[in-house]
Chain A
Amino acid sequence: MTTTMGDQSGLQRRLPPIPDSKQAQDQKVNRRNIIIVRINASDRLFAGTEALEISQLKDKIKEFLTNPANDPNLPEKEMTDIPGYGQYPISKGVISLQNDRGTSYQAYIAAQNELVKAVNELRDDFSRQAYGRPFISLTEEQQSIVKTAIPQNISEAEPKDVTKK
């Protein structure tokens, strides 16, 4: 019998449900609203079509999600009324993370981590602007408002061979 010190921490994710074969792939996402982050078998990272270093990924994602210049190639935003806050343009951007069977787990988690970090930093910025405090010290109600305003849309894509492309 061995004992451990509790070390239960990690990155939480929700897997997409298996799509019904009948309504297969009905929901088309607009091209500009999706960014495909791809890691190939030799752990090289691509966002869209350009190769990136892992350290550049966070800023790329932040730019993609905020679309500060309202670039028509970056995701559209939808003015939504958030109860308890008011009107806020919510980005429709979706990040799709794809990997190869030969990608190392370490590289995959590193990419996941950068994506989460990008969203967390955006939420922090929003919290400071709206409430003058970082996200972590907001009340639960305020946190859920911030979460609505800046959703974490990371999609775990169907596995596919990246090498073929």
Chain B
Amino acid sequence: MSKFGSASNKKEVPALSSGSLSDIVFMLLFFFMVTTQMRETENKVQVKVPVASEVVKLERKDLASYINIGAPIRSLQSTFGTEARIQLNDSFKNIDEIRDFIAAERDAMSEADRSYMTTVIRCDQDVRMGIVSDVKQELRRCSALKIMYSARKPAED
């Protein structure tokens, strides 16, 4: 067989078949289509959530509403300063606007799902608890009692 011919036979590398190129491209495309999700709102505050080892997954993502707390992002710091702010949907809000926000979120849900509504507090790890306590008190007042402190798993184990 010529394949196992003498060493003097110069070996030629066969040309790379480009037939499976489209398979690879589509596989990558589908992978990213499945794993990524659109971010509904633009972040206006910097949030680096703290680390916690006992985190649980949020069960129903569609029933969650998000409250972001943190310092404004760098490009907005000239207008809004570096003090921690609350972001609801797309803009900075005050404590007393949480009530309207929760009411709006609640209205958007079906009657049966309302009791399962979870408010996810995404708060930066360097924020002082004062503002978080205010938010919690306000949530209690609008009886949105199911909350979740957003946190990430530690990198090791």
Q: Which A residues are closer than 8 A to B by beta carbons?
A: 1-18, 99-106, 108-110, 112-113, 116-117, 120, 156, 159
B38 touches A3 (CB 8 A): yes
In the complex, the chain A residue whose C-beta lies closest to that of B66 is A8
22 contacts between A and B (CB under 8 A): A1-B39, A3-B36, A3-B39, A8-B61, A10-B148, A12-B118, A12-B147, A13-B149, A14-B146, A15-B140, A15-B147, A16-B140, A18-B143, A99-B129, A99-B133, A105-B127, A105-B129, A109-B52, A109-B149, A113-B52, A120-B54, A159-B136
Central interface residue in A1, A109, A116, A159, by most chain B CB within 10 Å: A109
Please determine whether B50 and A105 come into contact, CB atoms closer than 8 angstroms: yes
Q: A104-B129, A117-B54 are in contact. Are A17 and B143 (CB under 8 A)?
A: yes
Q: Contacts A1-B39, A9-B151 given; 20 further ones with Cβ under 8 A?
A: A2-B42, A5-B35, A5-B37, A6-B61, A8-B120, A9-B150, A10-B52, A10-B149, A11-B52, A13-B147, A13-B149, A15-B146, A99-B129, A101-B133, A105-B124, A109-B52, A109-B125, A109-B151, A113-B53, A117-B53
- Residue on B nearest A13 in the bound complex, by CB: B147
A interface footprint on B123-150 (CB within 8 Å = 1, 0 otherwise): 1111111101100110111010111111
List residues of B whose CB falls within 8 A of some A CB: 35-39, 42, 49-50, 52-58, 61, 64, 118, 120, 123-130, 132-133, 136-137, 139-141, 143, 145-153
Residue pair B137, A159 in contact (C-beta under 8 Å) = yes
Residue of A nearest to B42 (CB): A2
Distance between Cα atoms of A108 and B147 in the complex (Å): 15
- Give the nearest-CB partner of B69 in chain A: A105
Q: Is the CB of B137 within 8 A of A106?
A: no
Query: Which chain B residue shows the least CB distance to A1?
Result: B38
Most chain-B Cβ atoms within 10 A of its Cβ — which of A1, A103, A105? Answer: A105
How far is B140's CA from A10's CA once the two chains are assembled, in angstroms? 19
Most chain A CB neighbours (cut-off 10 Å) among B35, B129, B146: B129
Query: Contact at A104–B146, with CB atoms within 8 Å?
Result: no
B residues within 8 A CB of A99? 129, 133
Q: How far is the CB of A22 from chain B (nearest CB, A)?
A: 17
Q: Give chain B residues whose Cβ lies under 8 Å from the Cβ of A8.
A: 57-58, 61, 64, 120, 150
